[in-house]
């Protein structure tokens, strides 16, 4: 049995960054129906050494983007956000808030266009700020990545219903 209680650390290097119209958290609209960031386009720009690694993405309608929320310390809870729904006992690992012990973001986004020559992917539905580091890209495969039977706590279901968070 390993009795070492020290924490390991890991080093990660971005594969690229996001080009987005949003420069600050205050500019990102809170999604309500089809009027939020889930309808906005942004671009993943891969660094030259990773640009060719998107080969084969043709035919995927969606991808999973892992990104580093590098400015999470600037984020402030929007007025009235979750205040009426989130119970006091609910902490960070039960939310999708950007301020986290490791500020890793994960989003499933729709692929609009791929530029293989430039290592660029035009995407729809990412709430990341401009110049946000991209850690990884994975293809979205509905058979593996979708669980329609998944359940939510009542407080989340109530919030989603009240604010019409549908795509």
| 101 within domain boundaries | yes
| 7 within domain boundaries | no
Angle, CA 63 vertex, CA 19 and CA 77 arms, to 5°: 60
State the pLDDT confidence band at 102, using cuts at 50, 70 and 90: confident
Domain count, the chain: 1
**In the structure encoding, which two tokens stand for residue 54, read together?**
């998107």
| 147 within domain boundaries | no
pTM equals 0.77
- Which of 1-5, 46-50, 67-71 is modeled with the greatest confidence? 46-50
Mean pLDDT across the chain: 80
- Check if the beta carbon of residue 152 is closer than 8 Å to that of residue 159: no
The predicted pLDDT at position 22 comes to 83
| 37 within domain boundaries | yes
- Which of 39-43, 92-96, 140-144 is modeled with the greatest confidence? 140-144
* Domain containing residue 105: CATH number: 2.40.30.70
């Amino acid at each position: 049995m390993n009795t070492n209680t020290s924490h390991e650390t890991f080093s990660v290097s971005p594969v690229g960054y996001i080009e987005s119209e949003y420069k600050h958290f205050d500019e990102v609209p809170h999604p309500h129906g089809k009027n939020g960031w889930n309808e906005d386009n942004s671009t993943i720009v891969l660094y030259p050494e990773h640009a060719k690694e998107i080969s084969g993405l043709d035919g995927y309608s969606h991808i999973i983007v892992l990104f580093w929320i590098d400015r999470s310390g600037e984020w402030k809870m929007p007025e009235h956000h979750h205040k009426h729904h989130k119970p006091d006992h609910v902490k960070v690992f039960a939310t999708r808030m950007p301020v986290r012990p490791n500020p890793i973001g994960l989003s499933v986004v729709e692929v609009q266009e791929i530029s293989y020559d430039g290592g660029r992917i035009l995407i729809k539905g990412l709430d990341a700020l401009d110049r946000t580091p991209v850690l990884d890209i994975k293809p979205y495969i509905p058979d593996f990545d979708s669980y329609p039977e998944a359940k939510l706590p009542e407080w989340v279901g109530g919030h989603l219903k009240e604010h019409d968070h549908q795509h």
